[in-house]
Chain A
Amino acid sequence: DAKTTQPPSMDCAEGRAANLPCNHSTISGNEYVYWYRQIHSQGPQYIIHGLKNNETNEMASLIITEDRKSSTLILPHATLRDTAVYYCIVRPPNDYKLSFGAGTTVTVRA
């Protein structure tokens, strides 16, 4: 699986958009980009995934660069409950495992 690089931490103001970057320069053509988050002491929660096109759901938007070497997760209106560790993961479709790195610790401040 391709490796990902994320900043260790970032702060965000409540009500503002949070833009979380992820580098995955060795991604292969059939590998998807996934985002999960883990709120303190809870199990990870799926957020969104994509292959080439930008994706949006009720939680977030995923912007993938044209060369697919990096992506950005956007939380459009961050709330205090979005404070969590966010993991960017790449893997082929139907692979059985998710390889979690250290992620980005996002702190939303009032």
Chain B
Amino acid sequence: NAGVTQTPKFQVLKTGQSMTLQCAQDMNHEYMSWYRQDPGMGLRLIHYSVGAGITDQGEVPNGYNVSRSTTEDFPLRLLSAAPSQTSVYFCASRVAGYNEQFFGPGTRLTVL
């Protein structure tokens, strides 16, 4: 069991560029989420999914898109990167109705 995996670990973008952060889990979890964490702060929810084909917005969804075509994968797309999106991004998953959420190791993104 690899758990929750994220790629890349580090990324530097220029303002206006687009990219996709990858997230995958091999635990057959229904629920998947994306969070961002700015320096010295807690995590904030960007988007989440309760199953394949179902996504919804979290607290800070602007500038990000998601899709969930399979149970395993939940990519996060930055449409046009801005310096304000410099952050650490965490993907998480859990079983529906269960309480423990598993987090990936994070992707550290810098937008210049």
Chain A contacts to B: CB under 8 angstroms: 32, 34, 41-46, 49, 87, 93-94, 96-103
B40 to chain A, nearest CB (A): 8
Chain B residues within an 8 Å CB radius of A42: 105-106
Instruction: Name the interface residues of B4-28: CB closer than 8 Å to any CB of A.
Output: 4
Chain B count of residues within 8 A CB distance of the other chain: 27
CB-nearest residue of chain B to A89: B42
A96 is contacted by which of B31, B103, B104 (Cβ under 8 Å)?
Answer: B31
B88-106: contact bitstring with A at CB < 8 Å (1 yes, 0 no)? 0010100011011111111
A30 to chain B, nearest CB (A): 13
Q: Is the CB of A43 within 8 A of B106?
A: yes
* Docked complex Cα distance between A24 and B90 (Å): 26
Given A41-B106, A44-B103, does the pair A94, B97 have CB atoms closer than 8 Å?
Answer: yes
Binds A, one of B43-51, B62-70, B75-83: B43-51
Can you name 7 extra interface pairs (CB under 8 A) apart from A44-B92, A44-B101? A43-B103, A44-B43, A44-B103, A49-B100, A94-B96, A96-B50, A102-B41
B2 to chain A, nearest CB (A): 13
For the complex of A and B, 8 pairs with smallest distance between CB atoms: A43-B103, A100-B42, A100-B43, A46-B100, A97-B45, A44-B103, A101-B42, A96-B48
Q: Is the CB of B90 within 8 A of A43?
A: yes
Chain B residues within an 8 Å CB radius of A94: 96-97
Chain B residues within an 8 Å CB radius of A93: 97, 99
Chain B residues within an 8 Å CB radius of A46: 100-102
Q: Is the CB of B42 within 8 A of A102?
A: yes
B101 to chain A, nearest CB (A): 6
Chain B residues within an 8 Å CB radius of A41: 106
Q: Is the CB of A97 within 8 A of B103?
A: no
Chain A residues within an 8 Å CB radius of B40: 102
Query: Can you spell out 18 A-B residue pairs with CB atoms less than 8 angstroms apart?
Result: A41-B106, A43-B92, A43-B106, A44-B92, A46-B100, A49-B100, A93-B99, A94-B97, A96-B33, A96-B48, A97-B33, A99-B42, A99-B45, A100-B43, A100-B44, A101-B42, A102-B42, A103-B42
